[in-house]
Chains A and B, each alone.
Chain A
Amino acid sequence: MTKQVPVTISPKRLRREFVKKVKELSGQNLQLCYQCGMCTGNCPAAANMDISPRRIIEMARLGLEEEIADSKTVWICASCLACAVNCPRGFDLAKVMEAIRLLTLRKNIDHVRPEDIPPQERCDLPQIAMVSGLRKFTG
């Protein structure tokens, strides 16, 4: 469930490198979003997220880098694109989620280390699960 966190908004934060990078990596215009919440409504994983998909966009454009980094939302996203195909503004939120994941992964910080996947799981999981999982969770 979405948690309530007090945040500080400032012009300095709005102009942060973080906001620029998210825009560049995702290729998305964050200002397109009018916060209708169709993304959250269609997200099959929203119930498990601490920050809802809609709020991720709002927080990203406000430059709330630390708050987003503390959240597990982007790691729960399965890139199923239910948000993207249902967005009335043609905004691709999955690309924003990927951009935020990459800001961590590109610092050479893995979200899942291959060696931490239990050996039995490595045998059981189909190859496409391993390939896609390691693409999304390792840098």
Chain B
Amino acid sequence: MSLAYYPGCTLKTRARNLEEPAVASMEALGFKLDEVPRWNCCGAVYSLADDDLIHQVAPVRNLIRVKKQGKNELVTLCAFCLNTLKRANLLMRQDVAKRDTLNAFIDEGIDYSGEVKVVHLLEVLRDEVGWAALSQKVKLPLRGLKIAPYYGCTLLRPREIAIDNVENPTILGEFLKALGASPVDFPESTRCCGSYQVVSSPGDIAEYTRPILNSALKNGAEAMVLTCPLCDYNLGRGQKELAKKQSGFREMPLLYFTQLLALALGLGPQVCHFELNHGSPESLLKEKHLLSQVESFQPIGGQK
């Protein structure tokens, strides 16, 4: 089955370790992630101003391209892209006047009214594959791996686009269980990592990430699983700074959910690009005997 797929800019550079294991895993599960032709940057953040339509153009243009592709469902991996595309889609469904203005301005020869369904890959795994079926496909159960599921903001907020319960999300935990890992619940799993504040006040990022990381560690996590390249960057950067500032702070590997998926499906570390991860997860994975193919593992070059 072929699914329209929106990668997002960051997945083509530093977050290839989010994309490549996803493409390989979905293929193993019988789905082809079919990139939307001529996709452009979604804008990363949804514009919150009522009169601002120009910043809705980018996400809506992508949704029109999905329709031109002949698809009615769009899969995303990056939590930021999901949020922006899904909210813009909602706007096109709900606000007739803005919809007409945007369609006229975008001028792609298609009148779009929000008919594409925007989903996150986790939703495809939950709703189309199913946790039970997924766990049957697992070749290398991630036994003994204690992982903190970190949701961040954009998968769950605002309420109307949340992929799970806003207060008590379980989708990442269920996912980890299906792969045989042990999810570690921690109260800060939906607390903001600082997001784009890293652009204006990079020095404050450690303050955002400190409670998140400490809480996960305190609850016994050995690693953290993520869905967003900006969370990955901020939590990685935050750990480096905390290691300097806070005595006894232990750095923890950060992993994308798609890397764990590929590993559990037995696709080997080659597709996972662990060399792009913060905190070298290989040693932890080796310790848990999850890198059986480690002898043949060569980091794939290409990073500067």
Q: Which residues of A contact B (CB under 8 A)?
A: 24-27, 44-45, 47-48, 75-76, 78-82, 84-85, 92, 94-95, 97-99, 102, 111-112, 117, 121, 125-137
Contacts and interface: CB of A to CB of B under 8 A. Distances in A.
A102 B10 CA distance: 26
A131 B15 CA distance: 15
A72 to B, nearest CB: 9
Contact of A26 (B45, B50, B198, B201): B50
Contacts of B232: 126
Interface in B162-206: 166, 190-192, 194-202, 204
B2 to A, nearest CB: 26
A134 B199 contact: yes
B49 A26 contact: yes
B8 interface: yes
Contact of B49 (A25, A44, A85, A137): A25
Interface string B136-163: 0000000000000000010011110000
A24 B48 CA distance: 12
Contacts of A128: 8-10, 44, 78, 80-81, 229-230
Contact of B195 (A26, A27, A78): A78
Nearest to B15: A126
A130 B80 CA distance: 13
A55 to B, nearest CB: 20
A133 B229 contact: no
Contacts of A81: 153, 157-158
A103 B170 CA distance: 39
Nearest to B211: A44
B220 interface: no
A57 B200 CA distance: 23
B207 interface: yes
A48 B207 contact: yes
* Complex A-B, nearest 10 residue pairs according to Cβ-Cβ distance, in ascending order: A133-B199, A80-B192, A98-B48, A81-B157, A132-B196, A27-B50, A131-B44, A78-B195, A127-B9, A132-B44
